[in-house]
Structure 1
Amino acid sequence: MDTIELQRIARIENDNWWYRERREILSAELLRFSVPGTAVDIGAASGACCRVLADHGWSATAIDLSPDAVALARTRGVEAYEGDARYLPLPESGYDLALALDVLEHVEDDTRAAAEIARVLRPGGTALVSVPCDMALWSAHDVALGRVRRYSRRTLVDLLDGAELVVERVWSRGVLHRPLLRLLRNRTVRREDLAPLHPVVNEALRLSAALERRLPTASWPGVRLFARARRPG
């Protein structure tokens, strides 16, 4: 992640509908655990998800390739270290939960990154992964964000299976937003397109995301996929 993109995320993440939605999903997943434990957030950027983990009583560590991201996370009270998702500077079997949210699509060797997720989890530990889905939606926006692929359900499951993780659930998000994304997918992206959304647009997207949580759309085509997987043990 370059410095400009990091600054953009830090500027918008408190109010942006997607970052808020991602934190809601993480909070809901944390309710599955009877007691908090240790967690690592891979590709943590400014450490927003680590703060969610801390709010739920977890001991959280942030890892990011960008030294600027690490420095920013530390200024926000997050334990953060510089590291590559393919070669995590972490001990084997050290964590109850590993997050890789909107990360794997940026990594050329995602097989290696998935194997590292499995390596740092304790036996019985959980991985929570999110990725953009469907190469049919590939656009200039993906290029601008530094992505190298989008995933199908099959390719995501195969990736996690290949890392010897047991996939427990795969579900879609952004089902209600997909028609708009398909409409815009071939539009040229300018730097200002990565700026904060207009408040009215942002609120409309937030409300539609909240509505989607109440609808039986998890198996429908969306714009992102989430997966929960477990290291056997």
Structure 2
Amino acid sequence: MDTIEIQRVVAIEDDNWWYRERRGIVARELRRIGVPGTAVDIGAAGGGNTKVLMEHGWQAVAVDSAPAAVDLCLAQGITAYLGDARFLPLPSATYDLALALNVLEHVEDDRAAAAEIARVLRPGGTALVSVPCDMSLWSAHDVALGRVRRYAKADLAGVLEGAGLRVERLWNCNVLLRPLVRWRRHRARYCEDMADAPPIVNELLSLVSAVERRLPVKSWPGVTLFARAYRAD
């Protein structure tokens, strides 16, 4: 993620429907884990998700490959390190939780990045990972964001399990919005990002996300995949 994109994310993420929903997922997973511990936010960008960890009592650090992202985190009082997802500048078997939200799709060697997630986790530690799903949704949007791929469920599970992580749960998000996303992105010759929606559309999309949380649709095809896994040994 380049400096301009990082600054854009920081400017919109507190109010934007997509970032709010993702933070909500993180918060719900933290409540499931229970007692806070140590955590690392890999690919932290401006530190929005790192702050969610800290607000829930976790001792969190951020890692990003962009100097601008590290600077933004440090300016907010977040402990942050410059580092590649394939070579994390962190000690082994140290963290109770690792976040890697929308990271693996940007890494050519995603298996190396998954192995690093496993390496820094303590035995029994949890990994929470998200990626864009389904190559049939590939569009100019993915190219503009520097993605290498989108994932099927089996692909993501294979990458995580190949790194020594055991997948507890794998689920879809933005299921109800998938037809709109598919139509909107495939008709465009350039990047159209629903994260930049006008205020009234932003609220409508927030409402759709809230409705989806109450429906049994997480096994249906969506736009984003989430996985919760743990290090067994």
> Which aligned pairs between 1:84-163 and structure 2 lie closer than 5 A?
84-163=84-163
Aligned counterparts of 2:148 and 2:75: Cα–Cα separation in 1: 30
Aligned counterparts of 1:37 and 1:193: Cα–Cα separation in 2: 35
Matched residue of 1:40: which SS? strand
Letter in 2 for 1:27: A
Question: Which digits, 9 at most, give the CA deviation of each residue in 1:9-42, with x for residues without a partner?
Answer: 0111111111100100000000112310000000
Partner residue, 1:189: 190
> What is the TM-score when the length of structure 2 is the normalising length?
0.97
- The structure-2 alpha-carbon separation of the partners of 1:226 and 1:8, relative to structure 1 and needing over 3 Å to count, comes to same
Question: Which digits, 9 at most, give the CA deviation of each residue in 1:132-189, with x for residues without a partner?
Answer: 0000000000001111100000000000110010000000000011000111222122
Range that drifts further, 99-108 or 180-189: 180-189
Are 1:45 and 1:69, in contact at CA under 8 Å, matched by a contact in 2?
A: yes
Superposed displacement of residue 215, structure 1: 0.4
Is 1:169 the counterpart of 2:146? The answer is no
Gaps in structure 1 of 5+ consecutive residues:
none
Question: Which digits, 9 at most, give the CA deviation of each residue in 1:59-111, with x for residues without a partner?
Answer: 00000000000000111111111000000000000100000001110011101
Matched residue of 1:15: which SS? coil
Aligned counterparts of 1:226 and 1:193: Cα–Cα separation in 2: 20
* Pairwise CA RMSD: 1.2
Letter in 2 for 1:197: A
Is 1:45 the counterpart of 2:52? The answer is no
Letter in 2 for 1:167: V
Gaps in structure 2 of 5+ consecutive residues:
none
Matched residue of 2:32: which SS? coil
Matched residue of 2:28: which SS? helix
Aligned counterparts of 1:160 and 1:90: Cα–Cα separation in 2: 19
- The structure-2 alpha-carbon separation of the partners of 1:194 and 1:224, relative to structure 1 and needing over 3 Å to count, comes to closer
Are 2:18 and 2:195, in contact at CA under 8 Å, matched by a contact in 1?
A: no
Letter in 2 for 1:188: R
Letter in 1 for 2:230: R
Letter in 2 for 1:206: S
Letter in 1 for 2:199: P
Partner residue, 1:74: 74
Are 1:8 and 1:194, in contact at CA under 8 Å, matched by a contact in 2?
A: no
Matched residue of 1:32: which SS? helix
Partner residue, 1:17: 17
Aligned counterparts of 1:160 and 1:219: Cα–Cα separation in 2: 19
Are 2:17 and 2:195, in contact at CA under 8 Å, matched by a contact in 1?
A: no
Letter in 2 for 1:178: R
Are 2:40 and 2:95, in contact at CA under 8 Å, matched by a contact in 1?
A: yes
Are 1:6 and 1:69, in contact at CA under 8 Å, matched by a contact in 2?
A: yes
Are 2:140 and 2:190, in contact at CA under 8 Å, matched by a contact in 1?
A: yes
Matched residue of 2:220: which SS? coil
Superposed displacement of residue 193, structure 1: 5.1
Letter in 2 for 1:201: V
> What is the TM-score when the length of structure 1 is the normalising length?
0.97
